[in-house]
Amino acid sequence: MFKLNIFLILVLIACALGVVTAQHMVRNLFMALEKEKETEQKLEVEWGRLQLEQSTLITHGRIEQIATEHLNMMVPATSSIQIVSINTAENEMNAERVRP
């Protein structure tokens, strides 16, 4: 009886230590998780900032300004545009309709 009790006490102590270790490990992992979450947040902020930067850079006004001022581009006059239509029955009909 006494021996069994000793044995059970040892088992109990082992279990208790196990709980403590497990808890400790959980907290370590949890801290790692928190750190990753923080990184995620930071990356998301960065992503937002990059998106903002991109949309500021591609505003129509800016593109137009660069195209006209730096690249000397312009919208062609209608008279200098050649329209190529693919010859399907439908297009043919349209062409007939609009021809003066």
Partner 1 sequence: MIKPALPTIKLSAWRSRLLFGMLVLGLISLAARAAYLQGMNNEFLQKKGESRYSRVVEMNADRGMITDRNGHIMAISSPVASIFADPKVVVIKPEKLRQLAHLLEMSSTDLNALLTKENRRFVYLKRHIVPDTAEKIMQLKIKGIYLTSESKRYYPEGEFAAHVLGFTDINDEGQEGVERGWEQTLAGELGRRRVIKDNKGQIIDEDVASIRSPKPGKDLVLAIDRRIQYRAHAELKQAVLANRAKAGSIVVLDAQTGEILALTNWPAYNPNRRSTINNERLRNRALIDTFEPGSTLKPFTVAIALEVGKVNSHTILQTAPGTWQVGRKTIRDVSNKGELTVAEIIQQSSNVGTAKIALSMEPQTMWEMFNRSGFGTLTNSGFPGEASGILRPYNRWRPIEQATMSYGHGISTSLIQLARAYTIFTSGGELKPVSLLKQNIPVMGQRVISRDTAWAISRMLEMATQPGGTAPLAQISGYRVAGKTGTAHKLIDGRYANKSYISTFVGYAPASNPRFIIAVIIDEPSAGKYFGGAVAAPIFSKVMSGALHILNVPPDAPANNVITFTATPEMEDEG
Residues that bind partner 1 (CB under 8 A): 26-27, 30-31, 34, 41, 45, 48-49, 51-52, 54-56, 58-61, 64, 75, 77-79, 81-87, 91-92, 94-95, 97-98
Q: How far is the CB of 58 from partner 1 (least distance, A)?
A: 7
Which residue has tokens 């998106």?
51
The helix or strand, by DSSP H or E, that contains position 63, with its residue range, turns out to be helix 60-65
The whole-angstrom separation of Cα 53 and Cα 46 is: 10
Nearest residue (CB) to partner 1, 10 versus 40: 40
Q: How far is the CB of 49 from partner 1 (least distance, A)?
A: 6
Residue pair 85/95 in contact (Cβ under 8 Å)? The answer is yes
